[in-house]
Amino acid sequence: MSSPFRSALRSADLLSGVFFAGVGLGVTVISRNYELGSLARVGPGLFPMMLGILLTGIGVIIALRALPAQDEKNRVRLALRPVACLIGAVLVFMLLVERAGFAPAAFFSSALAMLASRDARPVKVLVVSTALTALSLATFILALGMPIRALAW
């Protein structure tokens, strides 16, 4: 592996580590407001708290391992399109699931998430989003019997 390539990978590792640590820290702080319970009787905050702590630790380890190789000329730029599409997909799901139902929320959020890729083509996005929505409906509503409204209208 060549040196510039290795250095670029380490820069990406630093950005990823800081991102994971930040998200993990945020989850940990938010989950403090929920009851943790005990190991015998787990509360709603225990899983997010443990997940946040684990994600923070992994992020710190990844970032620390990448630090020695940092130099000014081999920085990795943050790709805004994937970040915006993935955050947007989560927000679209959150806004649509109550108002329109599970099926439209799953369809539009998966379509938006697929647009994060430069290889996204309209037909591919339509087919994969439809398949993911159908699979999600079959899994959550039919197989697991969860009381989720497929359509709100």
104-107 contacts, C-beta under 8 A, 24 or more apart: 104/151, 106/132, 106/133, 106/136, 106/137, 107/132, 107/133
Higher-confidence residue of 104 and 71: namely 104
**Digit-coded pLDDT (tens) for 9-49:** 567 778 888 888 989 898 888 888 888 887 778 788 888 88
Tokens of 56: 């923070």
Q: pTM of whole model > 0.85?
A: no
- pLDDT for position 1: 47
- pLDDT for position 133: 96
What are the residues whose beta carbons fall under 8 Å from the beta carbon of 125, sequence distance 6 or more?
Answer: 111, 114, 115
Mean pLDDT, residues 105-123: 93
